[in-house]
C-alpha cells in the first residue's frame, strides 16, 4: 500500500479487557503498604459517648485501639447514607476492630468496573427549542441536580455550556473542589459541584476531578449535555444536535473511578457526599458482583439515598447474554439494561481478494468482544474501508443489546431486574478533546464527541428521565418515579416502525425488564406503585435478613415481628414475580386530579390461571390508594421447568398501567 505512512491500521486478533480488571495489587497503584487493605466499617452511632462532639473524633478513637495511626489509616467518614468509616488496616487490626462493641460489621473494599445525539428523538423528547409535554412540564430539568459518580468530567467540553441557564437551585449545597488543574472558576450553572475521592489512583493520573478516561464526560453529557452548535458529529457520523435527556438539569460530579478502577469505599463516599450535598438523582454507570445487601456498598448507599428521597439509577452490567448476570440488583435502585436505537453506522471492509466484510464503523474493541466479535479493525484514512455514513430508520428497534446483563435476580428471586431498558448502543455524547476516541496511543484523532456502547450509556438516559420527572412532579418519591417509568414502558418496537414489525414478545422480561422507557407516557402514568422504608424493612425480614443486618442498612433499631411477616412477592413493586398456587397483594396510588375508574385486563401466562380481585378500582381524589389481590394457579400446559410470563394492566381508557406477571418455578 503506497500510502502506508498515512494509514494507521491495527488488527486485533486477540482482544483484552483491561477495563474489567478486578485486582488492585498492581505496581502502578498507590499502595505502599502491601500488608494492609481497605475495609468498610459499620458503626452504631447511637453508642457515641457524649464527650465526643462529632463522629470523626470518635472514629479516630476507635481506630487508635487497633494500634493504627488514624491519620494515616482513615480513608473516608460516612455520615449520611451509611454510618461508619473506611480505613486501611492489616488483618490483625481488622480483627481487633470486630471485637469493639460499637462496630456492627466489617467487610473488605472491593473493585467495581465501568460499563462501557439521536436518542432524545428516539425517546420522543425532540421539542427542545419549543418544549412540549414532559420537557415543558419539567422546564427541561432546570431545578434538578443529578449526581454523577464516574471518572470525573472534562469541564471545557461544549456539552457543558451554561449560557442562559437560571441560578443554581438553592437546595444544592455542594462545592467545587476539583483539585489539580480544576479551579473553582471551571464550575458554572451547568457543572454546579465537583468532588473527587482517592483511596486508589493511577500514578499517571492527576490528583484531580478531571476526566482522563472519557467515560464520565460521556455519561454526564448524556444526562444533561447542551451545546449551542446545532450540527455536531463524530467525524461526520451521527450529525445533528448533541444534547442530553434533561438539557437544563445541573450536574454534580463525584470522581470515584481512576483509570478503570472504582473502589467500593470511594463509591460509598461519593454517594454519601452526593446526598449530603442535596442532589435529586444519582447515576451509577458502574458495578461489580452483587452480594447480600448489608455487605454491598452500592446497595447500602443507595438505600440511604432512597431514605433521603434521592432516585438512584444503575447500569445492569455488560455480562449478557448470560442468564442471571446482573451487577446491580437491590430493589431500591432502578437498574437499566441497554438497547439499540434506529441509527447505525455501517462500513464495508474490502479485502485483497475482493471479499467484502460488513460491520460497524465506530464500535470499539470492548463492545465487539462482548457482542461475540472475533476482531476489530481500527483504521484512519484507509481507502480499503467503504464508509456508508449514518443510517436512520434501522429496523427493528429497539432490540436488547447482546452484552446487556440479564436476570433473573440471583439475590431476590421475586424482584424483577433489570427494571427497564434504554438506549445504550452507539451513543453520541461529549468527550475530552485531549483523549483519542479509541483510547489507543496510535490514534491521532481528537474530538469533542465520541460514540460508545454499554449499559453505562443506557443508565444516564434513565437518570436524565428521572430528573425530568422529578422536576415535573416535585412531590413524587423515587419509587413513584420508577413506577411511572416501568408501568408505561413498551415491549416490542418503537411506534415509528411499521405496525407489521410490532412484536410484544420478542424477549423475556428477564432480558428487557418491564420494557423500553417511554418518557412522555411516564409523565402521565395515571396510577403508581409506591413504596416506603417500612415496606422494604418487611421485605428484608421476609428475605431472612436478621435485625442486625437490617439495622446496618436503615441505621436505626428494627424488629422482624412474625405477626407482621409478609411474603417476598408482596413487596409493592411495579412487577409481579411469584410462585404458582400463591396470592399477592398490590396497592395503587392515584396521581391524577380527576376521578377515574380502572378495569383490570390480564394477559395470562401459558398454563396459568390468574384471578384478580377486584376487577374494578375507582379513585375520587389525588393520592387516594386502592388494593387488589392476584392469585395464580398452575393448569395443564404449565411448564415445570420454565417461568411463565404475562401481564396485568389497569386502564381507564386513557391510561394503561401495566406490570409484568412472572410465575416462577
Q: Can you list the alpha helix ranges (DSSP code H) found in 213-361?
A: 215-224, 264-277, 297-307
The owner of cell 452507539 is 426
d(Cα 634, Cα 580) in Å, to the nearest integer? 6
Other CB atoms within a 10 A radius of the CB of residue 510 amount to: 22
Instruction: Return the H-helix or E-strand segment holding 370.
Output: helix 365-370
Burial class (CB in 10 A: 0-12, 13-18, 19+), 525: buried
**Active-site residue, from 109, 121, 142, 150:** 150
Q: What are phi and psi of 325, to 5 degrees?
A: -100, 15
The owner of cell 422536576 is 471
d(Cα 417, Cα 337) in Å, to the nearest integer? 9
**Active-site residue, from 264, 360, 456, 463:** 456
Nearest to 418 by CA among 569, 316, 288, 568: 316
What 3 state SS string does 513-560 have?
CCCECCHHHHCCCCEECCCCHHHHHHHHHHCCCCHHHHHHHHCCCCCC
C-alpha cell at 463: 437518570
d(Cα 31, Cα 376) in Å, to the nearest integer? 35
d(Cα 526, Cα 596) in Å, to the nearest integer? 9
What radius of gyration do the chain's Cα atoms show?
Answer: 25
**Active-site residue, from 76, 83, 121, 215:** 215
d(Cα 515, Cα 294) in Å, to the nearest integer? 29
d(Cα 478, Cα 391) in Å, to the nearest integer? 37
Annotation says 456 is catalytic: yes
Q: Quick one: angle between helices 547-554 and 297-307, nearest 10?
A: 60
- β-strands 334-339, 420-423 pairing: parallel
CA 98 centroid distance within chain: 33
The owner of cell 483491561 is 18
* DSSP 8-class letter at 202: B
C-alpha cell at 592: 391524577
Helix (H, G, I), strand (E, B) or coil at 400: strand
| CA angle, residues 623, 628, 632, in degrees to nearest 5 | 150
Annotation says 215 is catalytic: yes
d(Cα 333, Cα 326) in Å, to the nearest integer? 13
Active site residues: 150, 215, 456
Amino acid at each position: 500500500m503506497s500510502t502506508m505512512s498515512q494509514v494507521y491500521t491495527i488488527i486485533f486478533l486477540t482482544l483484552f479487557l483491561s477495563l474489567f480488571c478486578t485486582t488492585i495489587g498492581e505496581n502502578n497503584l498507590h499502595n505502599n503498604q502491601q500488608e494492609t487493605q481497605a475495609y468498610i466499617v459499620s458503626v452504631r452511632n447511637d453508642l457515641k459517648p457524649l464527650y465526643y462532639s462529632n463522629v470523626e473524633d470518635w472514629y479516630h478513637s476507635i481506630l487508635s485501639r487497633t494500634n493504627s495511626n488514624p491519620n494515616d489509616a482513615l480513608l473516608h467518614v460516612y455520615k449520611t447514607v451509611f454510618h461508619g468509616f473506611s480505613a486501611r488496616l492489616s488483618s490483625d487490626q481488622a480483627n481487633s476492630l470486630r471485637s469493639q462493641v460499637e462496630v456492627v460489621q466489617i467487610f473488605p473494599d472491593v473493585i467495581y468496573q465501568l460499563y462501557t445525539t439521536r436518542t432524545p428523538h428516539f425517546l420522543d423528547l425532540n421539542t427542545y427549542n419549543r418544549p412540549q409535554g414532559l420537557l415543558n412540564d419539567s422546564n427541561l430539568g432546570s431545578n434538578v441536580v443529578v449526581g454523577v459518580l464516574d471518572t470525573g468530567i472534562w469541564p471545557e467540553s461544549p456539552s457543558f455550556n451554561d449560557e442562559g441557564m437560571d441560578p443554581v437551585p438553592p437546595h444544592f449545597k455542594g462545592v467545587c473542589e476539583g483539585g489539580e488543574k480544576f479551579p473553582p472558576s471551571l464550575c458554572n450553572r451547568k457543572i454546579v459541584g465537583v468532588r473527587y475521592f482517592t483511596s486508589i489512583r493511577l500514578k499517571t493520573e492527576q490528583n484531580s476531578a478531571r476526566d482522563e478516561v472519557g467515560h464520565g464526560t460521556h455519561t454526564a453529557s448524556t444526562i444533561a449535555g447542551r451545546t449551542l452548535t446545532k450540527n455536531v458529529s463524530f467525524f461526520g457520523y451521527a450529525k445533528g444536535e448533541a444534547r442530553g435527556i434533561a438539557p437544563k438539569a445541573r450536574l454534580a460530579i463525584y470522581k470515584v473511578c481512576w483509570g478503570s478502577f472504582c473502589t467500593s469505599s470511594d463509591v460509598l463516599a461519593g454517594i454519601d457526599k452526593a446526598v449530603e450535598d442535596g442532589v435529586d438523582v444519582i447515576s451509577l454507570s458502574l458495578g461489580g458482583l452483587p452480594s447480600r445487601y448489608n455487605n454491598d456498598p452500592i446497595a447500602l448507599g443507595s438505600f440511604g439515598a432512597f431514605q433521603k428521597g434521592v432516585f438512584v439509577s444503575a447500569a445492569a452490567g455488560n455480562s449478557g447474554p448470560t442468564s442471571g448476570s446482573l451487577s446491580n440488583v437491590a430493589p431500591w435502585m432502578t437498574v437499566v439494561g441497554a438497547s439499540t436505537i434506529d441509527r447505525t453506522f455501517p462500513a464495508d471492509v474490502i479485502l485483497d481478494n475482493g471479499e467484502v466484510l460488513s460491520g460497524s464503523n465506530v464500535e470499539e474493541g470492548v463492545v465487539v468482544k462482548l457482542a461475540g466479535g472475533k476482531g476489530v479493525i481500527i483504521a484512519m484514512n484507509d481507502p480499503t474501508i467503504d464508509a456508508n455514513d449514518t443510517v436512520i430508520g434501522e429496523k427493528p428497534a429497539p432490540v436488547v443489546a447482546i452484552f446487556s446483563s440479564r436476570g433473573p435476580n440471583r439475590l431476590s428471586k421475586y424482584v424483577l431486574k433489570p427494571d427497564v431498558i434504554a438506549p445504550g448502543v452507539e451513543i453520541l455524547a461529549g468527550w475530552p478533546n485531549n483523549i483519542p476516541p479509541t483510547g489507543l496511543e496510535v490514534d491521532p484523532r481528537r474530538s469533542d464527541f465520541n460514540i460508545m456502547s454499554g449499559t453505562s450509556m443506557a443508565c444516564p438516559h434513565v437518570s436524565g428521565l428521572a430528573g425530568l420527572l422529578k422536576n415535573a412532579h416535585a412531590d413524587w418519591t423515587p419509587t413513584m418515579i420508577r413506577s411511572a417509568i416501568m408501568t408505561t414502558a413498551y415491549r416490542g418496537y418503537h411506534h415509528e416502525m411499521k405496525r407489521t414489525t410490532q412484536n410484544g414478545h420478542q424477549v423475556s422480561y428477564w432480558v428487557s425488564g418491564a420494557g423500553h422507557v417511554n418518557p412522555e407516557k411516564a409523565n402521565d402514568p395515571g396510577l403508581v406503585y409506591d413504596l416506603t422504608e417500612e415496606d422494604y424493612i418487611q421485605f428484608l425480614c421476609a428475605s431472612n435478613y436478621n435485625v442486625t443486618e437490617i439495622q446496618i442498612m436503615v441505621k436505626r433499631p428494627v424488629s422482624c415481628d412474625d405477626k407482621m411477616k409478609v411474603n417476598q412477592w408482596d413487596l409493592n413493586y411495579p412487577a409481579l414475580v411469584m410462585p404458582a398456587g400463591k396470592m399477592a397483594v398490590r396497592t395503587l396510588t392515584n396521581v391524577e386530579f380527576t376521578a377515574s375508574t380502572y378495569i383490570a385486563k390480564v394477559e395470562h401466562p401459558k398454563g396459568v390461571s390468574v384471578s384478580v380481585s377486584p376487577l374494578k378500582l375507582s379513585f375520587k381524589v389525588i393520592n387516594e390508594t386502592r388494593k387488589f389481590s392476584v392469585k395464580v394457579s398452575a393448569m395443564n400446559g404449565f411448564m415445570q421447568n420454565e417461568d411463565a410470563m404475562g401481564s396485568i394492566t389497569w386502564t381507564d381508557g386513557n391510561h394503561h398501567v401495566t406490570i409484568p406477571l412472572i410465575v416462577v418455578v
